[in-house]
Amino acid sequence: MESPFIDSKLYINTSKAESVKNILWWNPPIWLNNWIKETDERRYSYTNCKVTTDRTTLKGSSAVVFSVADTGMGSRPPLKPNERNPNQAWIFFTLESPPNIMWQKDHKRPEWLNMFNWSWTYKPDSDIFYPYGILQTRDMPLQKNYSEMFRKKTKLAAWAVSHCDVVSKRDRYVEMLNSFTSDGYTSIVDKFGSCNGALSKPSKEQFENIIDEEYKFYLEFENSFCPDYITEKFFMNYKRDVVTILRGMGEYEKYFPKGSFLNTKDFPSPGDLAKFIVNLAADEEKYIEYLKMKDRFSVKELQFTYDDSVCKICHRLNNINEYRKTVDLNDVLGTCVQAKDV
């Protein structure tokens, strides 16, 4: 299958030398700071790019990146159109869905209209595609004692959540799942984290051990229904010994191997999904098929895909005439929708 998330063409590991191309992060997210410092430009397809946060390099930089989900972008651009180098690319960046950046107003001001050249987001049709992860086909599938793994897991689904009452109404969906009763189980889903009804708030390492050892399923429910919004939860748990249940607006069946996950949209109601979970949890052969399908792939997560997306920017800067354009931020992000399954 062809998918931008599987065996992607990577922009790493060729050697070419040209004039230095500065990539200036104007207001980087805090979580990116360490990765910016650790950037190894020698791995790029072109080795002449340098990533910096030094704003004094603004006019001389080849690209300027503005994070629309973070403070510090400014109510107006730092340069007027007639002050900009025509070969300088301005890039808007976000890994957040539109509902999660509603509180930020700067990028909506008219002064920023038509100021961006490239988009850098989680969407595959962005100019710079930055997925929360990718899959790579293993040369040899993993060998595990799947039967032992199946037998030791005595609980159904786990869910870790810290953002409560979000627009996707995922809390309500879980309530409806748990209204389904089945012999041998007190509930379909056990909740962990910070929201009401959580059993506990384990550390990341503790929770990973819990789902590997005790649970057959994990809920990966997005906080909003936005096109192609597939976050790190999918990739973090794809590599674990658990079957992931997805709920979002990503085109999962188009991008990822069929038979390696469950999608709530394939079930008429939460009750139908609950019945399927209970039945699959009792069928060792069919359950193991899901785990084996997942284990055909390894997972590369956010830091790896960050490095690769910067490589893509460097490639564009060294071939700037092929990539001249202006983009509208709102057109790229698209329109999110209300949940219709609860």
13 vs 101, more confident:
101
186 vs 177, more confident:
177
- Every domain range in the chain assigned CATH 3.40.50.11660: 135-300
Average pLDDT of the residues in 71-84: 94
> What is the residue-averaged pLDDT of the chain?
92
Fold of 21-131+303-333: Rossmann fold (3.40.50)
Percent of the chain clearing pLDDT 90 (strictly above): 78
Identity of the highest mean pLDDT range in 18-27, 61-70, 137-146: 61-70
Neighbours of 77 (CB within 10 A): 20
Q: Residue 18 has what pLDDT?
A: 63
Res 282 pLDDT > 90: yes
**pLDDT confidence tier of residue 103, bands split at 50, 70 and 90:** confident
Residue 174 φ then ψ, to 5°: -65, -40
3-52: pLDDT as tens digits:
888 888 776 654 455 688 999 999 999 999 888 887 777 777 788 899 99
Q: Residue 9 has what pLDDT?
A: 79
Its pTM stands at 0.89
**pLDDT confidence tier of residue 326, bands split at 50, 70 and 90:** very high
Q: Residue 44 has what pLDDT?
A: 72
Q: Which residues contact 273 (CB under 8 A, 6 or more apart)?
A: 177, 245, 262, 264, 267
Fold of 135-300: Rossmann fold (3.40.50)
Q: Residue 16 has what pLDDT?
A: 52
203-261: pLDDT as tens digits:
999 999 999 999 999 999 999 999 999 999 999 999 999 999 999 999 999 999 999 99
Lowest mean pLDDT among 8-12, 174-178, 210-214, 266-270: 8-12
Lowest mean pLDDT among 59-68, 98-107, 144-153, 287-296: 98-107
The number of residues making up the chain comes to 342
Degrees, nearest 5: CA angle 258-8-260: 15
The b-or-e profile of 166-204 (16+ CB within 10 A means b, else e) is bbbbbbebbebbbebebeebebbbbbbbebebbeeeeee
Strands 243-247 and 49-52: unpaired
CB 122 within 8 A of CB 132: yes
